[in-house]
């Protein structure tokens, strides 16, 4: 996106036609984003809670001292792990890296995790298991255009990633097939070749049904399976039990459609499978993704141009945010924190004894759920997430946040989470500071600063630098004194050298010259790696691994008391927890309040009137939405967006059941009751 700052200081955004990914396309949230820069509600001074419980303006000195004293008091009373850090996938690579270092070196805590646990973690874990590496798309996004059959699972690209819709449109225009798997006939599904309208939570059954047909009808690539993979025999045995009639009963998709979908994929020269949150945000999210990866592998598609498997990464820096150490089990460069070689390397880069580096901490929801309890975190620093709105079982999380001894939130606005804090620090926004992000293709890009932050506001890097220098143990403070984002990036390069996500050969200059550099890029001479897996997989055997995945029911299923499925997700005009977009006039006028999508027959059955309010109730709580009657949704399912808080919060309803491997919550399926308000 290109920004221009006019003489009166107003900022205008436009698409950049020379940019290889968006090719000039800009989402409505992009061109309306400048409104948040000079917004009247923007925070421009730190806030501190006073003796009467009010948040009042304070100087930076007072606010930072309150944090330092609070953190030290909690550490003295409960130990180092009692201080927690919660980050986000919208942070630049430099911030994500420094946040991880801040937690491990300055605070010495194992408890750091981030909102990517709610977003990317199931696909990430599946990619690592199957291919030995997790890079959202292992190929450039332009490959989509040349695929002749794409299976798009649980992604509503037309509303959530409008700038890349052009690749799907070009693919269709070339005669390619697009198959969309979604319980709703979403905007994306409405324009597809086939819409597979499955029961929420039945993705693994569908994948196994497709595998069954592919194997039965001889549409698999035996040579590829023999030469490049392992584990196929288990998949063959398991999928034999998923004959299409049985899969129809579980998924609600007609047998003939399952067969047709399998044939479209099996007969394609360049089949591609893409997943997003629909299949991933489930208590068997990792299994779901592995089962879809199996399809790509039996077709021999992974590693071939314009074919294979990819995950459509969500947030602005969803990819880079999961590589550099803000995950509880991770060190920079996508290294494991329990790997002795990784620890030794980081101990050297950070100039600390290896023994002082903490081990793995709690995952996002588990950390939040234990706030203020015996053995849990007592002081929490949140930077880049609005957990009161975006966490599952949000009323529980709000209670847990209130039980903390110290809550610090760094944000540009008084988000619902910031409103509960003891100290709020105002930070700079995207246009006001430079830094790198890694996009869904693994391309590291540079966002240059276009303007200065308003008076009174500091950047996240300055805030972490200042706190790190004071809170770090004797002699370690110097490790937090960075003159610029580029200086942080230079250390990040070294920290990632030799790791899976190796940035050692990437510099700001090289990114500028090449319009982005794909990792891994291990040396200055290396041009970067746009395509992975052409010859081998980075697993110990060099082969990709198939996994036999049995379909399991979601953690909660409809019953007499809660007779419907509730699924949640996004709408075009709102972003995430809404902190930014609910403050943007144009967007608010497009989506002023949340609605619940209900099939007209279901609405009649429960006595609901379109346009009136309805109460949704689950085992966690209740929330109110306006009824939108639409035959685009299954009769047994209702859908609500999660962008609002308070009485309109979808997350007061959602089930915090976690995937056992990725610890991803089941945002996409729970049992619900609906009645008119
Ligand atoms: N407008 C807008 N765009 C965004 C965002 C935003 O908040 N607003 N957020 C960004 C972020 S962080 C992310 S992660 C991405 C997410 O991008 P998407 O994954 O495309 O978004 P969602 O709406 O969460 O879910 C996609 C679809 O999954 C379907 N679904 C629900 N249950 C199931 C199920 O059981 N199985 C299957 N197969 N599908 C199911 C939903 O009906 C929905 O249409 O969007 C990014 N872009
Ligand atoms: N029910 C349901 N819940 C969901 C989902 C779902 O599909 N259904 N999706 C989940 C997913 S995929 C995601 S990604 C999460 C997202 O939800 P959140 O983790 O809440 O993410 P954001 O709304 O982007 O919150 C970011 C907050 O940090 C601030 N912020 C943004 N950038 C920066 C920065 O650079 N620095 C600082 N200091 N602050 C910043 C913003 O103003 C905002 O208040 O929600 C999850 N929750
Ligand atoms: Mo996300």
CATH of the domain at 643: 2.40.40.20
Read off the CATH number of the domain in which 386 is found: 3.40.50.740
Q: Is residue 528 part of a domain?
A: no
**Amino acid 578: pLDDT:** 75
19 and 134 together in one domain: no
- The closest-lying atom of ligand 1 relative to the alpha carbon of residue 572 is 1
Q: Is the CB of 42 under 6 A from ligand 2?
A: no
Q: Is residue 496 part of a domain?
A: no
- The closest-lying atom of ligand 1 relative to the alpha carbon of residue 184 is 42
CB 155 within 8 A of CB 149: no
**Cα of 9 to ligand 3 centre, how many Å?**
32
Range of the domain at 362: 41-118+317-479
Q: Is residue 502 part of a domain?
A: no
Q: For the whole model, what pTM was predicted?
A: 0.95
Q: Is residue 277 part of a domain?
A: yes
Q: Is residue 346 part of a domain?
A: yes
381 and 408 together in one domain: yes
Asked which of 461, 479, 497 is the last residue of a domain, the reply is: 479
175 and 290 together in one domain: yes
**Amino acid 79: pLDDT:** 98
295 and 395 together in one domain: no
Asked which of 440, 456, 479 is the last residue of a domain, the reply is: 479
**Cα of 620 to ligand 2 centre, how many Å?**
21
- The closest-lying atom of ligand 2 relative to the alpha carbon of residue 383 is 38
Instruction: Give the whole-angstrom CA distance, residue 200 versus residue 181.
Output: 10
Residues 6+ apart with CB under 8 A from 654: 392, 393, 394, 566, 568, 618, 620, 642, 665, 666, 667, 670
Tens-digit pLDDT profile for residues 20-66: 777 766 666 565 666 677 788 899 999 999 999 999 999 999 999 99
- The closest-lying atom of ligand 2 relative to the alpha carbon of residue 650 is 1
131 and 102 together in one domain: no
Neighbours of 662 (CB within 10 A): 22
- Residue 161 CA: which ligand is closest? 1
Asked which of 463, 479, 495 is the last residue of a domain, the reply is: 479
Neighbours of 560 (CB within 10 A): 6
Instruction: Give the whole-angstrom CA distance, residue 79 versus residue 412.
Output: 31
Ligand 1 site, CB within 6 A = 119, 153-156, 159-161, 181-184, 186, 200-201, 203, 276-279, 314-315, 567, 569-570, 572, 574-576, 639, 668-669
Residues 6+ apart with CB under 8 A from 292: 151, 153, 203, 207, 273, 275, 279, 309
Q: Is the CB of 413 under 6 A from ligand 2?
A: yes
The domain total for the chain is 4
Instruction: Give the whole-angstrom CA distance, residue 647 versus residue 668.
Output: 20
**Amino acid 12: pLDDT:** 62
339 and 438 together in one domain: yes
Closest residue CA from atom 10 of ligand 1: 314
295 and 164 together in one domain: yes
Q: Is the CB of 390 under 6 A from ligand 2?
A: yes
Closest residue CA from atom 3 of ligand 1: 160
Residues 6+ apart with CB under 8 A from 625: 594, 595, 596, 613, 614, 616, 640, 648
Q: Is residue 466 part of a domain?
A: yes
Instruction: Give the whole-angstrom CA distance, residue 677 versus residue 674.
Output: 9
E-strand spans in 50-91? 55-57, 83-87
Q: Is residue 559 part of a domain?
A: no
Instruction: Give the whole-angstrom CA distance, residue 210 versus residue 239.
Output: 9
134 and 110 together in one domain: no
101 and 156 together in one domain: no
Tens-digit pLDDT profile for residues 624-660: 999 999 999 999 999 999 999 999 999 999 999 999 9
251 and 390 together in one domain: no
Which segments in the chain show pLDDT lower than 70?
A: 1-15, 17, 19, 24-35, 587-591
Q: Is residue 513 part of a domain?
A: no
Instruction: Give the whole-angstrom CA distance, residue 58 versus residue 108.
Output: 28
User: Which of 599, 623, 648 has the alpha carbon at shortest distance from 184?
Assistant: 599
CB 10 within 8 A of CB 34: yes
End-to-end CA gap in the chain? 43
373 and 424 together in one domain: yes
377 and 229 together in one domain: no
Can you say whether the dihedral through the CA atoms of 70, 460, 326, 669 is positive or negative?
Answer: positive
**Amino acid 588: pLDDT:** 67
- What DSSP state is assigned to residue 268? -
**Amino acid 574: pLDDT:** 83
């Amino acid at each position: 996106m290109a920004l221009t700052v006019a003489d009166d200081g107003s900022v205008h955004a436009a698409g950049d036609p020379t940019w290889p990914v968006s090719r000039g396309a800009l989402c409505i949230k992009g061109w309306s984003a400048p409104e948040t820069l000079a917004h009247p509600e923007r925070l421009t001074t730190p806030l501190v809670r006073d003796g009467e419980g009010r948040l009042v303006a304070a100087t930076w000195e007072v606010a930072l001292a309150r944090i330092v004293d609070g953190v030290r008091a909690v550490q003295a009373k409960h130990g180092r792990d009692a201080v927690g850090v919660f980050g986000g996938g919208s942070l630049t690579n430099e911030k994500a890296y420094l946040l991880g270092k801040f937690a491990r070196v300055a605070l010495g805590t194992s408890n750091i995790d981030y909102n990517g646990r709610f977003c990317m973690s199931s696909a990430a874990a599946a990619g690592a298991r199957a291919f030995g590496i997790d890079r959202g798309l292992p190929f450039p996004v332009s490959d989509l255009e040349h695929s002749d059959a794409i299976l798009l699972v649980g992604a509503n690209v037309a509303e959530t990633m409008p700038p890349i819709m052009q690749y799907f449109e070009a693919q269709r225009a070339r005669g390619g097939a697009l198959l969309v798997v979604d319980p709703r006939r979403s905007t994306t599904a409405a324009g597809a070749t086939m819409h597979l309208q499955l029961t929420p939570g039945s993705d693994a059954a569908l994948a196994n049904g497709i595998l069954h047909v592919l194997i039965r009808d001889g549409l698999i690539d035996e040579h590829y399976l023999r030469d490049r993979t392992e584990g196929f025999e288990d998949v063959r045995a398991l999928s034999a039990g998923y004959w299409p009639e049985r899969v129809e009963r579980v998924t609600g998709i007609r047998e003939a459609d399952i067969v047709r979908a399998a044939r479209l994929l099996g007969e394609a020269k360049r089949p591609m499978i893409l997943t997003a949150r629909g299949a991933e945000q489930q208590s068997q999210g990792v299994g779901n993704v592995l089962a879809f990866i199996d399809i790509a592998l039996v077709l021999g598609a992974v590693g071939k141009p314009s074919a294979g498997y990819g995950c459509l990464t969500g947030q602005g820096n969803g990819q880079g945010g999961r590589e550099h150490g803000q995950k509880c089990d991770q060190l920079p460069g996508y290294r494991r924190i329990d790997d002795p070689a990784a620890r030794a390397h980081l101990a050297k880069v950070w100039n600390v004894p290896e023994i002082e580096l903490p081990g793995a901490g709690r995952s996002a929801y588990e950390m939040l759920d234990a706030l203020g309890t015996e053995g849990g975190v007592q002081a929490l620093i949140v930077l880049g997430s609005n957990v009161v709105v975006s966490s599952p079982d949000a009323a529980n999380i709000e209670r847990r946040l209130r039980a903390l001894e110290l809550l610090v939130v760094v944000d540009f606005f008084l988000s619902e989470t910031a409103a509960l804090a003891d100290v709020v620090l105002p930070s700079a926004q995207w246009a006001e500071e430079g830094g790198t992000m890694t996009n869904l293709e693994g391309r590291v890009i540079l966002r240059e600063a276009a303007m200065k932050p308003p008076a009174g506001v500091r950047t996240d890097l300055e805030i972490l630098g200042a706190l790190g220098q004071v809170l770090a143990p004797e002699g370690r403070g110097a490790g937090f004194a960075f003159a610029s984002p580029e200086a942080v990036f230079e250390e990040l390069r070294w920290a990632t050298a030799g790791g899976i996500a190796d940035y050692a050969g990437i510099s700001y200059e090289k990114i500028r010259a090449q319009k982005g550099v794909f990792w891994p890029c291990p040396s200055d001479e290396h041009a970067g790696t746009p395509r992975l897996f052409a010859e081998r997989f980075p697993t110990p055997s060099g082969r990709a691994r198939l996994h036999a995945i049995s379909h399991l029911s979601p953690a909660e299923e409809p019953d007499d008391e809660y007779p419907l499925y509730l699924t949640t997700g996004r709408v075009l005009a709102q972003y995430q927890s809404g902190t930014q977009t609910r403050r943007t006039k144009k967007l608010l006028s497009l989506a002023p309040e949340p609605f619940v999508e209900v099939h007209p027959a279901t609405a009649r059955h429960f006595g609901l009137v379109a346009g009136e309010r309805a109460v949704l109730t689950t085992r966690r709580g209740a929330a109110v939405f306006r009824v939108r009657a639409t035959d685009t949704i299954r009769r047994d399912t209702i859908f609500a967006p999660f962008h609002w808080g308070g009485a309109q919060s979808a997350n007061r309803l959602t089930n915090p059941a976690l995937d056992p491997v990725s610890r991803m919550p089941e945002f996409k399926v729970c049992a619900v009751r609906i009645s008119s308000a």
